Amino acid sequence: MNIGSDEAAWDIERSRRLSGTWLADDEFRKHVPNHAIVGLGVLRGNNRLVQEAKSDPRQRSPSLNPIYPLLEKLVQDIDFVQKKCISYCPVADFCNSLFVILPAKTASSDVVRVVEEDIRRTIESINKHLLTITYDQIRCIENVMLVARTLEKAPGIYQLLTEKEGAVSGICVDKAAAEYVLAMKSG
């Protein structure tokens, strides 16, 4: 299925692919887990999606073929931002669902705003093509423990906790990430 395909056609294809798996809504509702341990990553360096986007097209995973052009564009936009704001990564990955990490209110955030809407649109298109658990399904799980470490991931952790309320019930983070999240909450 090509990216430019009609969204309704993709929705049908997505439902077909999910049917019979525990991610299909009807199956998930029958077997909601009580506990889940989830991670949060940022799209930078050794992230699998970044590596795939930069890999030799002959070596790429066929399962990602429908989103390679989008991944390549996203990685180019991320690289642009990181050349201007070295310590900031604008995209996070939670349960294989991407989201924009808003920049801290600094002078460098102006650079991010130049490509933020492009990044947001690209992420929306990529997420529509990923077969993964949804935020609504995650919210049905009684205990969801987020495990993440490093200051680099802290803005994503904070944003996940504040914007995706109910997605996680507990966190396990290192001191640097915890201090960042607490400072953002209180300031």
What are the pLDDT digits (tens) for 158-178? 998 988 777 899 999 999 999
What is the tally of structural domains in the chain? 1
Whether 144 is covered by a domain: the verdict is yes
Range of the domain at 30: 7-186
pLDDT in tens, 94-142: 998 999 998 766 545 666 777 888 999 999 999 988 888 888 899 899 9
Whether 1 is covered by a domain: the verdict is no
Domain at 12, CATH number: 3.40.50
Query: Nearest Cα to 73, choosing from 14, 3, 156, 1?
Result: 3
Q: What is the pLDDT of residue 39?
A: 94
Whether 2 is covered by a domain: the verdict is no
Q: What is the pLDDT of residue 64?
A: 85
Q: How, if at all, do strands 35-42 and 91-94 pair? A: antiparallel
Whether 18 is covered by a domain: the verdict is yes
Whether 57 is covered by a domain: the verdict is yes
pTM above 0.85, yes or no: no
